[in-house]
Amino acid sequence: MNTVEILRSHDIKPTIVRMKVYEYLYSMKNHPTADTIYKSLSPEIPTLSKTSVYNTTTLFLTKNLIRPVTIEENEIRYDADTTDHGHFKCTACSEVYDFNADLSKMEHNLSEDFQINERQLLFKGICSYCKRS
C-alpha cells in the first residue's frame, strides 16, 4: 500500500502535508516530537507551520493511524508502528530504542471488565553504548 491508500483506508483525505508527515513517521521509525517533524520537513515544505504539524498528528491520532508515545512528560511523541512494543529511553544519550514486548501478558492482574484501548511500556536507563564509554 502506498501512502495515498494508507491514508484513504483510515478515512483521511490525502494532502501533501499529510503525506509528507506520514511518510516521515513511517520511514524514520524514530519517535519524533512535533518540533522534530516540523524541523525535518521545513526544508522540503518551506511554508509548513508547527500548527499544521499538530493539526496533522492530531488527525492521525483520532483516526488511529499513529500512536502517541509518552517518553518525557512535557512533550508528545508520535509512532507510526501501532503494534505492541516497548520503548527504552537512554537518559544519557536521549536515544529511544524499540524492543519487542507482548503487553497482553500483563493484563491478567487487571479485571476482565476493564476495556483496554492503549498500552505503553517504557523503560529508562543507560544504553549499552553509553555504558561502555
Take residue 41 and report the three cell numbers written for it: 520537513
Site for DNA in 25-44 (CB under 7 A): 33-35
CB 42 within 8 A of CB 54: no
Nearest-approach distance from CB 4 to DNA, in angstroms: 11
Rounded CA separation 99/84 (Å)? 9
Q: Which part of the chain contacts a copy of itself (CB under 8 A), choosing from 21-29, 43-51, 56-64, 70-78?
A: 70-78
CB of residue 16 vs a copy of itself: minimum separation in angstroms? 28
By CB under 7 A, the count of residues binding DNA is 23
74 binds a copy of itself (CB under 8 A): yes
Number of Cβ within a 10 Å radius of residue 79: 21
For residue 30, how many other CB atoms are within 10 A of its CB? 18
Interface residues toward a copy of itself, by CB under 8 A: 68, 70, 72-76, 86, 88, 91, 97, 99-101, 103, 105-107, 109-111, 113-128, 131
